[in-house]
Structure 1
């Protein structure tokens, strides 16, 4: 599962209205419920486009905000892409994951989002493990990418990490695995 920015870098497709009239069903359209693996994207405003129903062998499922126009849903459906439209302005990713589990059998999700996706999902208690590979290189630019970001308040007091494993990799890199605990739960 990734956010809109990461998925746009992967899909690279532009807008293309369907060539034939296509029904825009709300709130759910599952084009391939029997798929064995899924590429899930969080796209609140419906800016993502796809040239097919899969990426790297994974069937595409898009989690959308309630204000996405029917024309965008029709484009996704025509491309064979599955989607779930939120009934609220803010996407409740937790509720949508429960739905994907029930309807598509998805029980485990690998989150590979950017900081703006990772932070809110961690704060919401939807992440149970953090896996990091640290390489011996520093970028250090102002505004460099972060792994996790959550507003002004951050995640202090909301999330606690506990080291599960530390594995030495080649070229001086290390793989760190942490369990994620939510003290308020």
Structure 2
């Protein structure tokens, strides 16, 4: 299969900050659902932060060691974790009813004990790249193995920047909150070091409740300019 459509989706303040903003999860995930994602792509650090925000890691139970039985319309969660940051806590996502199951993206540098942890609990994983995950190859394998046509990226600046620098993103979806964070600003796209501008084409501008605005941009390439 060809590379899936990749959409970055995030909630930010008016100054572009994705930290220290009070995200409305119902709006955030409600708008995300409109894309009909097959795979929800998250970085390990973002996933870890989410776990800490919503109560920490519960004790692992017997049912956590096997794949959940959920409908194929529920998206797979693919987590980029070549360092094994989420060892001992992946069952948090496996319990989430909006996650069909977890697929971990790892590299040749991933610790062997983390791979053993994944195998013992029947987590699928995709091994690409040497020190870091080869994102281009990982996306292709997600398409081939899981028939993924649409991948929604719900992560921080590091993963977003890597995907944009490698020209792997097709659309950017932003829920803009009416707030400014000032000196605490940590910009969602601060990690882009690729020279030159990335052109965008507006495809949606919708006013939501709470004075939120939903913006969707398409990445401009030679084929769609």
TM-score normalised by structure 2 residue count = 0.65
| Residues 139-167 of structure 1: per-residue CA shift (max 9 Å, x gap) | 1124x22111335x35633x211111111
Secondary structure in 1 matching 2:183: coil
Residues 136 and 10 of structure 1: CA distance in aligned 2, closer, same or farther (over 3 Å): closer
Counterpart of 2:190 in structure 1 is 149
Aligned partner (choices 60, 69, 72) of residue 111 of structure 2 = 69
CA distance in 2, matches of 1:61, 1:155: 32
Q: Which has the higher contact order (CA 8 A, sep 6+)?
A: 2
Counterpart of 2:14 in structure 1 is none
CA distance in 2, matches of 1:38, 1:55: 12
Deviating beyond 6 angstroms after TM superposition, the runs of 4 or more aligned structure 1 residues are: none
1:80, distance to aligned residue in structure 2 (A): 2.5
Counterpart of 1:163 in structure 2 is 202
Which stretch shows the higher mean deviation, 109-118 or 80-89?
80-89
Residues 91 and 35 of structure 1: CA distance in aligned 2, closer, same or farther (over 3 Å): farther
CA distance in 1, matches of 2:93, 2:208: 35
Count matched residues: 166
Counterpart of 1:46 in structure 2 is 84
Aligned partner (choices 166, 170, 176) of residue 215 of structure 2 = 176
CA distance in 2, matches of 1:131, 1:146: 15
CA distance in 2, matches of 1:167, 1:136: 14
Counterpart of 1:8 in structure 2 is 48
Structure with more of its chain in helix, by fraction: 2
TM-score normalised by structure 1 residue count = 0.78
**8 Å contact 1:41–1:63 — kept in the other structure?**
yes
> Gapped runs of 5+ residues in structure 2?
1-40, 61-66
CA distance in 1, matches of 2:159, 2:135: 10
**8 Å contact 1:160–1:183 — kept in the other structure?**
no
Secondary structure in 2 matching 1:145: coil
Secondary structure in 2 matching 1:141: helix
RMSD over equivalenced CA pairs, Å: 2.7
